[in-house]
Amino acid sequence: EQFKGKYGRYLDVDDDGIPYRTIPGTHATHGAFVTRGSSRDGYAVYTEDGDAYRRNVDRLSRKWDTAKELVPQPEFHSNNEHQISNIESKSSDDSSSELGNSKLGVVYFGTSTYAAVEALDLLAEEGIQVDAMRVRAFPFSKSFREFVDSHDRLFVIEQNRDAQFRSLMMIEIGVDPAKIVSVLNYDGMPITADNIFRQIKGSIDKK
């Protein structure tokens, strides 16, 4: 309804890096396009023009930045109370109210979620208070960075040998590697709460 002029599949009309897409059949003459995987301009037309290529690559950078606040946001909580097993009901919109005053942070995601939550209960029983962040999407949002910056040590739970998520944190937002403690499991079995608990407590006891 608001369309005027010629449709451009890769035109960034509102400067957020995300071009508008059309739905086939919605208009008799507008919206259809043919594109290709090689270099193209804003109208999806093949080009070898360097400026057109640069504009499209810059647009992708803006799209990445826009996506950071559009993807599902992290969930935050603390184990200073033992009622943390229902974390899925906590809204990320008011996540700051769920954090305690600990300088220790636990970062987890994916299939390690329930083992991580149980491990936090085990830590609480030992009097070890930590804040926790469940990551739900990538790229990392502003709230992800704020959590990282507000904690002195971060225990990052991963189910792979190479600590890939740790590397991602260092590459994407420049986290000091000295503050990250990897909690890894790669024996082919799902990570357990006891495994997480022992690794985190063992690291804390060494300090």
Non-local (6+) Cβ contacts of 160 within 8 A are 184, 186
d(CA 197, CA 184): 12
What domain count does the chain have?
2
57 and 85 share a domain?
no
Output the 3-class SS for 41-59: CCCCCECCCHHHHHHHHHH
d(CA 78, CA 120): 8
Q: Which of 24, 51, 70 is the last residue of a domain?
A: 70
Tens-place pLDDT, residues 54-113: 999 999 999 999 999 999 999 999 998 644 444 443 545 555 556 778 899 999 999 999
**78, β-bridge pairs:** 131
34 and 94 share a domain?
no
Tens-place pLDDT, residues 134-168: 999 999 999 999 999 999 999 999 999 999 999 99
55 and 79 share a domain?
no
Where would I find the H helices in 113-192?
113-125, 142-149, 164-173
More confident residue, 167 or 43: 167
Tens-place pLDDT, residues 9-35: 899 999 999 998 888 777 777 777 788
Q: Which of 70, 87, 120 is the last residue of a domain?
A: 70
